[in-house]
């Protein structure tokens, strides 16, 4: 994450400093099988990909370090602040590979970023205008590399087609946060990234893997993402 005197900037698919990626499919699926995802032009589960991206950042950034899924090494906090029939999956804020386990109920869909970046205006600072905000994350579209997402070995084809720019949003960052940013209300904020919406999966165990790279906040730095989720879909209560 890069921080200036006037704004907060971060890169990652699951954190202010990071990037992330993801995918899913039933056990025994073959590589040529189509992944159970909704197309980038769709309005998955009632809203656009751009709206889901804004919601994802609020979910990821408004949680304290102790329960924040971005720094969860095992998936123990997978259910933290999830609600409804759509759950979010997190990436990381470092380049270390991560393997997580998560249990969801039948009928739960998943939304996640493959890689993403956001830019927020610091508390109390003037709004520089939407054009300026968008410019700060425009690099994502051309600089992201190695984008991959699989669901039970079914590859999400043409991940680059899933590029989106979020709606404008605000986030309430707690004083204790994994980004080590001062607590407060940040915004307006914008995001750019590659997001995927996965249809609800059948009961059983599924493997979701995602990865990719984005330039980091330091000159010459590259942030790599390598995240694997084992998703167990159960009937009834978790």
The pLDDT tens digits of the residues spanning 198-224 come to 999 999 999 999 999 998 777 778 888
The pLDDT tens digits of the residues spanning 141-195 come to 999 999 999 999 899 999 999 999 999 999 999 999 999 999 999 999 999 999 9
So what's the pLDDT on residue 95? 87
Q: What angle do CA 5, 59, 69 make, to 5 degrees?
A: 95
Which spans in the chain are helix H?
Answer: 49-61, 130-137, 139-143
Domain ranges of the chain: 2-234
* C-alpha torsion sign, points 8, 95, 214, 168: negative
Per the model's pLDDT, the better-predicted residue between 207 and 17 turns out to be: 207
The pLDDT tens digits of the residues spanning 52-110 come to 999 999 999 999 999 999 999 999 999 999 999 999 999 988 889 999 999 999 999 99
Average pLDDT, the chain: 86
Helix (H, G, I), strand (E, B) or coil at 44: helix
CA 14 to chain centre: 4
Q: Where residue 19 falls among pLDDT bands split at 50, 70, 90?
A: very low
Least Cα distance to 88 among 64, 118, 65, 68 occurs for 68
């Amino acid at each position: 994450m890069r921080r200036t005197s006037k704004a907060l900037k971060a890169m990652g698919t699951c954190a202010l400093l990071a990037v992330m990626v993801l995918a899913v499919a039933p056990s025994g699926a073959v590589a040529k099988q189509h992944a159970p995802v909704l197309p980038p032009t769709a309005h998955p589960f009632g809203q656009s990909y751009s709206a889901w991206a804004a919601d994802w950042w609020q979910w990821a950034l408004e949680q304290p370090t102790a329960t924040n899924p971005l720094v969860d090494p095992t998936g123990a906090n997978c259910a933290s602040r999830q609600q409804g029939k759509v759950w979010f999956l997190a990436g990381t804020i470092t380049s270390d590979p991560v393997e997580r386990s998560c249990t969801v109920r039948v009928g739960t869909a998943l939304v996640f970023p493959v890689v993403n970046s956001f830019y927020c205006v610091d508390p109390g600072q003037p709004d520089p205008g939407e054009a300026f905000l968008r410019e700060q994350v425009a690099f994502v579209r051309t600089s992201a590399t190695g984008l991959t997402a699989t669901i039970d070995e079914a590859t999400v084809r043409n991940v680059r087609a899933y590029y989106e720019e979020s709606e404008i949003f605000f986030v309430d960052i707690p004083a204790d946060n994994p980004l080590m940013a001062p607590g407060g209300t940040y915004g307006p904020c914008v995001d750019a990234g590659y997001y995927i919406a996965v249809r609800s999966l059948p009961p059983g165990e599924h493997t979701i893997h995602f990865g990719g790279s984005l330039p980091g906040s330091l000159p010459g730095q590259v942030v790599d993402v390598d995240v694997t989720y084992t998703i167990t879909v159960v009937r009834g209560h978790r």
